[in-house]
Amino acid sequence: MKSILLTTLAIVLFTACNTNDDPPFDYSELNDEEIQTYLETNNLDAEKSSSGLYYIIDELGSGEHPVSTDRVKVNYEGYFTNGNLFDESDETGVSFFLDQVIYGWREGLTYFKEGGSGKLIIPAHLAYGSYDNGSIPAGSVLIFDIELIYVNYKTENEAQIQSYLIENNLTAQATGTGLYYNIDTPGGGIVNPTDSDNVTITYKGQLIDGTVFDQSTSPASFNLQNVIEGFSEGLTYFSEGDVGSLYIPAHLAYGNQQLSEIPIGSVLIFEIELISVN
């Protein structure tokens, strides 16, 4: 079933296309009564926020709480208080920025940590208000069973790197930041750069699927303060003459930004030869 959660643009278009001159109806009291009845009927205990959102935390999770600017991946099922299903993700979940979804989701997911699961019970004023939206009638209370799979790619990127190493029979050293690196051919040098040094290298950058997005055609020189965090950290593990690879998760690269041929949330792999320092 096609997801209907990514609604910031849809809400704008729907409002612009609305030809009903009547003012929006406030369903808040009716919705709250409906939610209270639903909770009592199903013997559920939920927290209510100041906005009118209800939420139930079955598992808090052990990662980080998302904020409104984060990108998250969620497995979910959406239904009405009568139990009728109106939307669901596939088993792998769906990724989106929290500032792109209905307000009830934007607020509700911040109560969970990565790996958490539970239920959001969203009144109409935090969803589609007094207007129909596809199969959702005006004034509807929306209920979502959710699992917050990850926040900003860290968990998924870690799994991607591990799978890549196993599939290609590679070994790499993990650092405390999430970066992985390996030295294939030691160069015999004794100088390691600091994260503020100038270096000269040759390199090739590719994605997990093998797509090459950048490579040097001749030795390239730059200051490590001027490159992505994973590259800056990674080069400090190399000595002059070393040849090896860096496996950089998105939070140490371009994160939630789309950059030319690099999709949002991508792991970056660099094959590097460190020619000289300073």
Query: What are the residue numbers of the active site?
Result: 76, 86-87, 102, 128, 144
Beta bridge partners of 136: 133
3 state SS of 200: strand
Backbone angles phi, psi at 277, to 5 degrees: -120, 130
Q: Which two tokens stand for residue 265?
A: 């949330």
Using alpha carbons, list the distances in angstroms from residue 266 to 114, 123, 236, 248: 19, 36, 22, 9
Distance linking the first and last C-alpha atoms of the chain: 56
Nearest-5° angle of CA 161, CA 192, CA 169? 25
